[in-house]
Chains A and B, each alone.
Chain A
Amino acid sequence: MALLQISEPGMSPAPHQRRLAVGIDLGTTHSLVAAVRSGTAEVLRDADGHALLPSVVRYLPGGEVNIGREALRALASDPHNTVASVKRFMGRGGQEFSAERTGYDIVNGDGMLRLRTVQGEVSPVEVSAQILAKLRQLAEDVLGDDLVGAVITVPAYFDDAQRQATKDAARLAGLNVLRLLNEPTAAAIAYGLDHAAEGIYAVYDLGGGTFDISILRLAKGVFEVVATGGDTALGGDDFDSAIVDWLYQEHSLDSLTAVERRSLQVAARQARERLTDAPTAELLFEAGGRQVTATLDHQHFAELGRPLVQRTLATVRRALRDADLSIDDVQGVVMVGGATRMPLIREAVGGIFGREPLIDLDPDEVVALGAAMQANLLAGNTAPGEDWLLLDVIPLSLGLETMGGLVEKVIARNTTIPVARAQEFTTFKDGQTAMAIHVVQGERELVADCRSLARFELRDIPPMVAGAARIEVTFQVDADGLLSVTAREQSSGAEASIQVKPSYGLSDDEVTRMLSDGMCSAEADMKARALREQQVEARRLVEAIRAALAADGDLLDAGERNAVDSALAELARLAEGDDADLIRERIESVSAATDSFAARRMDRSIRAALRGRNLDELA
């Protein structure tokens, strides 16, 4: 007879309570989902055995949507309705891309970029949500149950708007986002845990459309990002474009049709991939109605790609400078992303670091595997002692516009998150009663050279002489790297705050409407799903608080304890019923009622951390 297993309260749930959580790598070229099963992270495969889902969505007349391989086949033949590399458009405005270069029918106008398709205008967030929903479906099919949440990876160099867009896409796809995780950090987790690596490591991550370099300090149980750098508009796609540009010149191509342009890109991609193993690659494509052939050899391709490679190496050097480290401090360089298969990349990276890059983990899978491990940890499935701590940073400085279009930096790049920082500002004119707050992100000194994240107004400032008002602006960046800003006039208490909703994002209302429209949901009954989510959330809360009570119940006096116990009992009872709104209300009130208990627990926890250290020193 097997022995009964008893887990420590609140720590490792019994197997049947194991919460299913997945890691999703939402990539430019392809996306994949992974999960920890029987203690090991593995990628999940569809019925045909494929792990990689091409990040391609095709909109067909009549409302049907193809996602993945099937859509990929129509990439060249149906260019306007078949969207690839949509990650490049996330959190971006319509004016930033030309239809000529992208081959899409981009809607002109302010705000978030939109593409015109046979099913009307679609936003990059919606296209990404289709891909995520497909992966969620795959995960639920393979794992056989609903997911409690997902860790979604983003390029480390994604700014606030791009992160927010990714989170919105996940919400649209019906996913509970446990954390947005930086791709190189995810790779470092997978690599570090696999190899018990310690010391300074660099992760060089060149994907289809984005480049990241992260420098990490790995120690037992701690993954600390020291510095990160990158370019969210540089990836394998750009090497394809370099080939396309060469062909344009070489064969005096112009006025190609959309279909021809797309097939040229496809041919360039295939040639680049062939050059990984072969010395030369043939290109065959149609241009202006005629068949064209061309030959590209490895050396010529290396020349075409050199400026791009140099850009990545300059970024590597800057990240090392930011980390206050030299090349010699780096113990290993982990290669991530399909584009690092290119021999010219491996040679260049090996050259700058003076050591062979580490390529023993599949560069296509390592990010999703690391994300799955983190998802498993965040869902509470990891036993104490086998867990780890992740300390990540923001990639770009955050600041405010001040007089003269200058940027006052409030939080510098490479600051460890979460972080909160307050700064005081004052009025410019006598009797000024309102102040426009313009939040920007970037390293440059002029507002015009930085990315505008959001604008809002603080009103009802009491009239005073110029310079007398004291307006405190607080930036809070959470563990997902997302910013919220609060402004408060100190003497009157007038307050204005926003969760930064980027200029190129969806409003909360839009997300809610899209959700209720049932977009991305295969299930007809959204109401049933909403109820189930509330029930799961209620049970989760009851379980979390009971675990807390078991560990630290002595922090409450008898009266407080009774109140909490009866509130929990009632919530547990409601969770068995079918009133979703009532459950939601009660979740909020129970949560609010345990505020001071949670604060006292945190106190005790910190005291314990300091005490442990004092004892060590005494010993």
Chain B
Amino acid sequence: MNVTTEASPPVRLDQDYFALFGLPHRFQQDRGTIDQVWRELQAKVHPDRYAAGSPTERRIAMQWASRVNEAHRVLRSPLFRARYLCELAGHPVQAENNTAMAPAFLMQQLEWREAIEVARQSGDAAAFDLIESELLEARRALVATVTQALDDESRDLPTAVARVREWMFLERLLEDIDVHRP
């Protein structure tokens, strides 16, 4: 059965990562499927497959395999995936240049940062656990909003961008906890 042969779109190096992996442009994805497609694509394009090929084939294989790995890195991470979807929709997150935040979130963020500093000075593992569970809870709420903003039929990109930016701050705080936890 070869029904899909003619229907399958051409595959090009400059295609977006979702199209490259044959996935819908959605935030919600199954990690197992992403990993599976990654391995299937690498099995076709990895330079090891072309070690006996011409120099041209080896070069093209390296470009493709690099592209497939980069796609996998972005697609498998929920945060990178959300950022990427915003970007594709013409709403780049521009985290480096644009640090405007809702005042309430900024306050909250400062409080967490102070709490981490206090916990670090006292070396209190239980305090770290408490902050972490608060952060994880906050992240769950953000992810739910981002999911809705990106996957609902009426996409709300400004909201998605704003929440993704806050999400990035949360990830940084979670990393700090990992680094400083006794």
Contacts and interface: CB of A to CB of B under 8 A. Distances in A.
A416 B72 contact: yes
Contacts of B8: 607, 610-611, 614
B56 A595 contact: yes
Nearest to B36: A613
Contacts of B43: 221-222, 389, 609
Contact of B63 (A420, A607, A613): A420
B60 A599 contact: yes
Contacts of B39: 222, 224, 389, 391
Interface stretch (B47-55, B118-126, B151-159, B164-172): B47-55
Contacts of B44: 602, 605-606, 608-609
Contacts of A606: 11, 20, 41, 44-45, 64
A460 to B, nearest CB: 26
Contacts of A179: 48, 51
Given A418-B69, A420-B66, A598 B57 contact: yes
A195 to B, nearest CB: 21
B54 A545 contact: yes
B22 A602 contact: no
A103 to B, nearest CB: 41
A444 interface: no
B73 interface: yes
Q: Secondary structure of the B side of the interface? A: helix
Contacts of A611: 4-5, 8
Given A421-B70, A611-B4, A378 B62 contact: no
Interface in A162-199: 178-179
A594 B66 contact: no
B85 to A, nearest CB: 19
Which 10 pairs, one residue from A and one from B, show the smallest C-beta to C-beta distance? Answer: A380-B52, A378-B51, A420-B66, A610-B22, A605-B44, A479-B47, A598-B57, A598-B56, A418-B66, A606-B11
B177 interface: no
B136 to A, nearest CB: 15
Given A420-B67, A544-B57, A602-B61, 18 more contacts: A378-B52, A389-B39, A418-B47, A418-B66, A419-B66, A479-B46, A545-B54, A591-B55, A595-B56, A598-B60, A603-B10, A603-B12, A606-B11, A606-B41, A607-B8, A610-B21, A610-B41, A612-B40
Given A417-B69, A418-B66, A613 B57 contact: no
B54 A544 contact: yes
B61 A390 contact: no
Interface residues of A, number: 49
A19 interface: yes
B52 A419 contact: no
Contacts of B65: 418, 479
- In this complex, the member of B8, B41, B48 whose beta carbon has the largest number of chain A beta carbons within 10 angstroms is B48
Contact of A613 (B1, B22, B62, B64): B22
Contacts of A602: 44-45, 57, 60-61, 64
B148 interface: no
B66 A476 contact: yes
A390 B46 CA distance: 9
Q: Secondary structure of the A side of the interface? A: helix
Interface residues of B, number: 41
B79 interface: no
B162 interface: no
- In this complex, the member of B10, B57, B67 whose beta carbon has the largest number of chain A beta carbons within 10 angstroms is B57
B109 interface: no
A283 to B, nearest CB: 42
A544 B10 CA distance: 25
Contacts of A389: 39, 42-43, 46, 48
Interface string B113-153: 00000000000000000000000000000000000000000
A403 B127 CA distance: 36
Contacts of B73: 415-416
Nearest to A597: B56
Interface string B1-26: 10011001011100000001110000
B48 A615 contact: no
Contacts of A610: 8, 11, 21-22, 37, 40-41
A178 B52 CA distance: 9
A19 B52 contact: yes
Nearest to A537: B55
Contacts of B20: 606
11 contacts: A224-B39, A390-B46, A391-B46, A420-B63, A420-B70, A478-B47, A479-B46, A598-B53, A606-B64, A609-B37, A610-B21
Interface in A564-619: 590-592, 594-595, 598-599, 601-603, 605-615
Contact of A418 (B1, B40, B62, B72): B62
B56 A614 contact: no
A541 interface: yes
A178 to B, nearest CB: 6
Nearest to B65: A418
